[in-house]
Chains A and B, each alone.
Chain A
Amino acid sequence: MDVRKKKRKVLLMGKSGSGKSSMRSIIFSNYVAKDVRRLGATIDVEHSHVKFMGNLTLNLWDCGGQDAFMETYLASQRGNIFSDVAVLIYVFDIESREVERDLDTYHAIIGALKEYSPNAYVFCLVHKLDLIQAEHRQRIYEERSALIRSRSDHFSIDTFGSSIWDQSLYKAWAGIVHRLIPNLTVIERFLHAFAKRIDAEEVILFERSTFLTVTSVASEIGDLNPIYDRHERLSNIMKAFKHCAARNTHTTPASAGFVVMHTKTPQFNVFLGRFTDNTYIFLVVPPGEAAYNCAVLNTMLAREGFSKAAAMGHGDGFPLPAPESPDGELANNSHANGYL
């Protein structure tokens, strides 16, 4: 059976020094925040392919932001850069002194995008928020996003405030990735049923290498959890520990990871384990040893089912949606996900 592989072109743009390559390195290349000082300026466009959830590949175009490059993108390279774009991620530096000029450049980019890829999603990140005093952050961020929105023409954009020093970066990128996963509804339907069956308060699916939240479901009680940014905080926590494990077992962060984690406390029980080749599943269930063991056992059984499906060529094991979307490319040879 053929697997329909999705390649999505993602443009990463913004003024020089706004932090595009830094965030890309942290999310996709396992850098830690303080390592990004080593990065130099991006010259022209750096292409990278990020395999995300098996059948989705992000084709990331990190576009150097110096004025000279920006001009060529808009002039001679216009067709090359802006055609077939699935997502434009535009990064604004909150500390920029030339806000008006930044917005003009942004408007020009939006104009080019409208011409070549009118259906693209646009995400704007207001970056380096850590440099603003905490009590003013929300207000300044909102003012800036309103300005950005007013210059976005017909595109309905999503804005995120972000900083590489806390979990806000994970929130922004999880939001972006969430929009790109082709079979998301199928996955979510499965998770809903599954969470109900094992009586979980919350089930979260994390992508394996980036630890970004793919999707999550919560029960009625789980929904009452007062901590709204818990998913991105979890990404941050687990990724930090992954770095620690890599450092202390003498391996690269890319190859470090968790096989399984069990946590039992008087208030809740948590299970984290590999689910499909590219995902971790994170279960939160109420305390109770027997119920917890049951939930873990059921997760293992579900995992087996998925790996069988994966072996038969169903991408990541999750069923794919009906093949009707026009931008899906057919892969030539059947592709197994090489699970162990």
Chain B
Amino acid sequence: METKPGQVSTGKPQDAKPRLLLMGLRRSGKSSIASVVFHKMPPNETLFLESTTRIQKDSIHSFMDFQVWDFPGQLEYLEPSFDLEDIFGSLGALVWVIDAQDDYLDSVARLNRTILTVQQYYPNINIEVFIHKVDGLSEEYRTDTFQDIVQLISDELSDAGYENAPVHYYLTSIYDYSVFEAFSKVIQKLIPNLSTLENLINTLGNNCGFEKTYLFDVLSKIYIASDTRPVDMSCYEMCSDYIDVIVDISELYSWDHPDRKPKGEQNQEAESHVVLHDETMIHLMEMNKYLCLVSVIRNPEAKEKKGLIDMNCRTFQEALNDVFSRSWEQDQEGSEHGQTQGQVTEHGEPGSNN
């Protein structure tokens, strides 16, 4: 909490956007993760990625602008020649990638050193550990590895006098949805008004009888908020794939031609729903340029009231855009406010590291 006042003010205005730092040993999969999540690269093509030799800075323009910095594994950024302020001096998250299929003791030791250095100066930074490449491990071995790594890190940190370190762990793989799920969680902690969004989605879901609702960033397919019912991976997968279906179909039929004219009034935002063989309905509505709301509906009564669903989603859309325009105004007033709010959400859910 005792942030030195100098730190915030030194951050130039354009650097105020949150920053994700991807770190870990070489060949642990950092660039692959960045390519799959932020550049839509098919997972099997990441085999051909060259090893990263310098810091790759990526600006992501979406509902909220943020940066992704991909660090080369061999870089010794803790050496005095690197300006720590330059790297960590901005609100964000440190994502540490550990190759679970390899010997991870080295990686863990380095992570601990990094955490101990970083947290002295920048206690606000979220530490997120991706235990990566778990697709190659059996279920049992996966759990063991997870336990082992968590144990190693927390033991060593508490030996060094840093109790209850706010470190979060995720099992990830680029070959399934886990890496998107993990990034969703990481990003959500950086969103200043997450709880407002969650409340809004809860209200919408309760009123419309939705089973589960996600607010997705269309480009990266990270969800930035969802209702607070328990996570259901199967709903998430279907929603995420349904976005693909709509995006892909739109690609095929959105060509421009002067003779293509509309034949009447229609809403400017895309809306789609599908009913599957078991009567499950998936409803998708575009919220703005970046976001779309996807819901799974199983309640038969709810499905009949399609008009109500559409209307409620529109109301939600207005509320959502209100929330975002508010927070943009705040951002312009000064980045300090956003920073303190970020802290609140971080401490709001301590120890959710299982």
Task: Tell me the A residues contacting B by CB distance below 8 Å.
Answer: 199, 201, 221, 224-227, 230, 233-234, 237-238, 240-241, 244-245, 247-249, 251, 255-270, 272, 284-292
Q: Given the known inter-chain contacts A251-B277, A259-B279, please indicate yes or no for A286 contacting B261, CB distance below 8 A.
A: yes
Q: How many A-B residue pairs have CB under 8 A?
A: 129
- In the complex, the answer to whether A227 meets B277 with C-beta atoms within 8 Å is no
Which residue of chain A has its CB nearest to the CB of B232?
Answer: A248
Question: Across the interface, do B276 and A264 meet the contact criterion of CB distance under 8 Å?
Answer: no
Instruction: Give which listed residue, A199, A245, A287, contacts B266 with CB less than 8 A.
Output: A287
Given contacts A199-B263, A262-B272, 18 further A-B contacts (CB under 8 A): A224-B259, A225-B252, A227-B251, A227-B252, A237-B248, A237-B249, A238-B245, A241-B241, A241-B242, A248-B235, A249-B278, A249-B280, A259-B275, A261-B274, A263-B246, A265-B270, A266-B270, A267-B260
Indicate if B264 sits at the interface (CB-CB under 8 A): yes
Contact B273 A262, beta carbon cutoff 8 Å: yes
Docked complex Cα distance between A292 and B267 (Å): 13
* Chain A interface, DSSP helix/strand/loop, else mixed: mixed
Q: A238-B245, A241-B241 are in contact. Are A266 and B268 (CB under 8 A)?
A: yes
Find out whether the CB atom of B264 lies under 8 angstroms from the CB atom of A258.
no
A199 cross-chain contacts in B, Cβ below 8 A: 263
The CA-CA distance from A50 to B257 in the complex, in Å, is 41
**What are 29 A-B contacts with C-beta separation under 8 Å?**
A201-B253, A225-B253, A233-B252, A234-B252, A238-B245, A240-B244, A244-B237, A245-B238, A245-B280, A247-B237, A248-B234, A248-B235, A249-B234, A262-B274, A263-B246, A264-B266, A265-B270, A266-B266, A267-B250, A267-B260, A270-B253, A272-B274, A286-B263, A287-B262, A287-B266, A288-B262, A288-B265, A290-B264, A292-B266
Q: How far is the CA of A251 from the CA of B268 in the complex (A)?
A: 36
Interchain CA distance A230-B251 in the complex, whole Å? 9
- Asked if B271 is at the interface (CB within 8 A of a chain A CB), the reply is yes
- Does the CB pair A267–B266 fall under 8 Å? no
**Residue B81 CB within 8 A of the other chain:** no
Given known contacts A234-B252, A266-B270, A256 and B277 CB-to-CB distance under 8 angstroms: yes
Contact B254 A291 (CB under 8 A): no
Instruction: List residues of chain A with CB within 8 A of the CB of B249.
Output: 234, 237, 263, 270
Q: Which residues on B sit within 8 Å (CB–CB) of A256?
A: 276-277
Set A225, A257, A272: member contacting B255, Cβ < 8 A: A225
Is B254 touching A265 in the complex (CB atoms < 8 A)? yes
Chain B residues with Cβ below 8 Å from A292 are 266
Residues of B close to A244: CB separation below 8 A:
237-238, 241
Asked if B268 and A248 make an inter-chain contact with CB atoms under 8 angstroms apart, the answer reads no
Expressed in whole angstroms, the minimum distance between the Cβ of B229 and any Cβ of chain A is 16
- Asked whether A224 lies within 8 Å of B257 as measured between CB atoms, the reply is yes
Instruction: Among B244, B254, B267, point to the contact of A268 (Cβ < 8 A).
Output: B254
Return the CB mask of B273-314 against A: 1 if under 8 Å, else 0.
111111110000000000000000000000000000000000
Tell me which residues across on chain B come within 8 A of A287, comparing CB atoms: 262-264, 266
Q: Which residue of B lies closest to A273 (CB)?
A: B275
Q: Which 3 residue pairs spanning A and B have beta carbons closest together?
A: A288-B264, A288-B263, A248-B234
Chain A residues closer than 8 Å to B268, beta-carbon distance: 266
- Number of B residues whose C-beta is below 8 Å from A? 40
Report A-chain residues with C-beta under 8 Å of the C-beta of B275. Answer: 258-261
Bound Cα distance A260, B234 (Å): 20
Contact present for A255 and B252 (CB under 8 Å): no
In the complex, what residues of B have CB within 8 A of residue A266's CB? 262, 266, 268-270
Q: Considering the chains assembled together, what is the distance between the CA atoms of A225 and B264 in angstroms?
A: 21
Docked complex Cα distance between A285 and B261 (Å): 10
Answer whether A264 and B272 are a contact pair too, CB < 8 Å, given A225-B253, A249-B278, A259-B279: yes
* Closest beta carbon of chain A to B243's beta carbon, Å: 11
Question: CA separation between A225 and B252, bound complex, in Å?
Answer: 8
In the bound complex, do residue B276 and residue A257 qualify as a contact, i.e. CB atoms below 8 Å apart? yes
Which residue from chain A places its CB closest to the CB of B267 in the assembled complex?
A264
Q: Are B264 and A289 in contact (CB under 8 A)?
A: yes
Q: A240 contacts which chain B residues (CB < 8 A)?
A: 241, 244
Beyond A225-B253, A241-B245, A263-B249, whether A249 also contacts B263 by CB under 8 A is: no
Q: How far is the CA of A286 from the CA of B263 in the complex (A)?
A: 6
Closest residue on chain A to residue B270 by CB atoms:
A265
Bound CA–CA A272/B249 (angstroms): 12
Q: Within 8 Å CB of B234, what residues of A?
A: 247-249
User: Inside 8 A of A289's CB, which chain B residues have their CB?
Assistant: 264-267
Q: B253: which A residues are within 8 A, CB to CB?
A: 201, 225, 230, 267-268, 270, 284
Contacts of B278 in A (CB 8 A): 249, 251
Measured between alpha carbons, how far is A268 from B270 in the docked complex, in Å? 10
How far does the alpha carbon of A308 sit from the alpha carbon of B275 in the complex, in Å? 24
CB distance from A278 to the nearest CB of B (A): 15
Nearest B-chain residue to A220, judged by Cβ: B259
A257 touches B277 (CB 8 A): yes
Residues of chain B contacted by A258 (CB below 8 angstroms): 274-277
Closest Cβ neighbor of A237 among chain B residues: B248
Residue of B whose beta carbon sits closest to that of A245 = B276
Q: Which residues of B contact A237 (CB under 8 A)?
A: 244-245, 248-249
Closest to A268 in B: B253
Contacts of B280 in A (CB 8 A): 245, 249
B289 to chain A, nearest CB (A): 12
Q: What separation, in Å, do the CA atoms of A265 and B272 have in the docked complex?
A: 8
The reply to whether A248 and B264 contact each other, CB–CB distance below 8 Å, is: no
Min distance, Cβ B307 to any Cβ of chain A, angstroms: 12
Judging by beta carbons under 8 Å apart, are A263 and B255 in contact?
A: no
CA–CA, A184 to B268, complex, Å? Answer: 38
How far apart are the CA atoms of A291 and B266 in the complex, in Å?
A: 10
